[in-house]
Amino acid sequence: MYNGNYIRSYERAFYQIGTSRQFGDKDKTQQNNCNVNPAGKHVGILDYHDWFISSITKHKFKSSPPLGGKFKIRGKRLVSSDKSSQTEKETWEMEMFGETFDDENLVSDTVVYNTAIVTIARKISTPPELKGTKEHDENNEADLESPSHTTKIQKNSLTKSFEHVFETYRDEFDVCETNTPKEGRFPLRSVLNLFERSRSLGLGGPDELRKMKEEEGILWVVTSIDNLKLIPIDGKSNLNKNMTEQQEYGICKIGGDLAVKSTVTMKRRGMILEFNQILMKTSKIENEDSHQIIAKGDITICAVDVQTGRPTRKIPSSLR
């Protein structure tokens, strides 16, 4: 299973919770963009249709579900809704697992495939009475990160940096009703796909990776993902004049180019590679290139022996 598909599976689980009758009445889903349960109470962000995954951390890859096999998702809400700023958030502990059954159709064993701490969010309007207040300003300062980017490349033989530019396509976006037809939210599952493509190119590309597998007996596998998040951007400083003054998460032009900047640190004689990756919108202001960060994350990969399935230090010299 590709890295981005684990996130897609968690998204689908959240969606099923939000639309189930246990949490919401489907006959009322069109009212106020919100699902309301029979008791008339809101459960949380999943009541609404406009939630999205804003960050993932402690994402651990333990094993993969068998091809065509079944798996289950379970989650526990760790932090309830936080409405202190323009964005309402909830944090969940998620787990993907599979079950095996005995002759009496009872569960005999449970295998955990994947775990993660997932934060979901939705934009909320700032109450008029809070705009311009000290509390509102401080909350915004805590949530915002600079939309411009300057990378400091470490002068270390074990640290390397590279950058790749990718064209985007319509099917990679989540379309938001509040944005123009030419814009959409670039979700974290698509961010991971571009991060993976950039890492593959940085390791030599498909031909070199195939050669490593067939001649060197080496595969690279993702072992963990941390601090993966969409970066909130203040509409006032955004390059797109059509955007509102509220914070936007991952909004960019459909079909436009996105750049991935990767800094990789080698550990354990190259067996472990730690990637710090950022996704940027690129544009020109007064004939100068300008970069605007929309997502970032830390991904760790490990070299594995094809035959034994164990980590290996037999790394090609071209990668050291």
DSSP code string of 114-183: EEEEEEEEEE-PPPTTTTTSHHHHHHHHHH---SS--------TTEEEEEEEEE--GGG-B--TTS-TTE
Task: Quote the DSSP letter at residue 213.
Answer: I
Whether 247 has a pLDDT exceeding 80, the answer reads: no
Give the bridge partners for 19, in sequence order.
none
Determine the pLDDT at residue 158. 74
CA atoms within 13 A on the CB side of 2: 13
Residues 164, 197: contact at Cβ < 8 Å?
Answer: yes
* Type of residue found at 81: S
83's tokens: 């409405």
* Average pLDDT rounded to a whole number, residues 136-146: 35
Instruction: With a cut of 80, say whether residue 258 has pLDDT above it.
Output: yes
Asked if residue 294 has pLDDT above 70, the reply is yes
pLDDT at position 174 over 80: yes
Q: Residue 141 in contact with residue 86, Cβ under 8 Å?
A: no
Distance CA 25, CA 302 (A): 46
Mean pLDDT of the chain: 77
Structure tokens at 9: 């599976």
Higher per-residue pLDDT: 161 or 86: 161
Stronger pLDDT, 252 or 181, i.e. the higher one: 252
| Torsion sign (Cα): 277, 281, 282, 286 | negative
Average pLDDT over residues 175-182: 66
The pLDDT, as a whole number, for residue 177 is 61
Query: Is the confidence at residue 145, as pLDDT, over 70?
Result: no
Residue 231 exposed, middle or buried by CB count within 10 Å (0-12, 13-18, 19+): buried
The whole-number average pLDDT for the span 124-130 is: 51
Contact residues for 173 (Cβ-Cβ < 8 A; gap 6+): 184, 185, 186, 187, 190, 254
Q: pLDDT band at residue 181, thresholds of 50, 70 and 90?
A: low
In terms of residues, how long is the chain?
320
Q: What are the φ and ψ backbone dihedral angles of 146, each rounded to 5 degrees? A: -60, 130
* Cβ within 8 Å of residue 151, ≥6 positions away: 161, 261, 263
Distances (CA, A) of 154 to 145, 157, 158, 160, 167: 22, 9, 9, 8, 28
Measured CA to CA in angstroms, residue 84 lies from 81, 125, 129, 132, 181 at distances of 9, 11, 14, 14, 30
Say if CB 143 and CB 249 are below 8 A apart.
Answer: no
Query: Cα–Cα distance between 181 and 190 in angstroms, integer?
Result: 19
Question: pTM to 2 decimals?
Answer: 0.75
The pLDDT value recorded for residue 282 is: 80
Checking if the pLDDT of 173 tops 70, the result is: yes
d(CA 36, CA 54): 23
How is residue 7 written in tokens? 């996130």
| pLDDT at residue 122, rounded to an integer | 87
- Retrieve residue 278's tokens: 């950022």
CA distance 11 to 121: 12
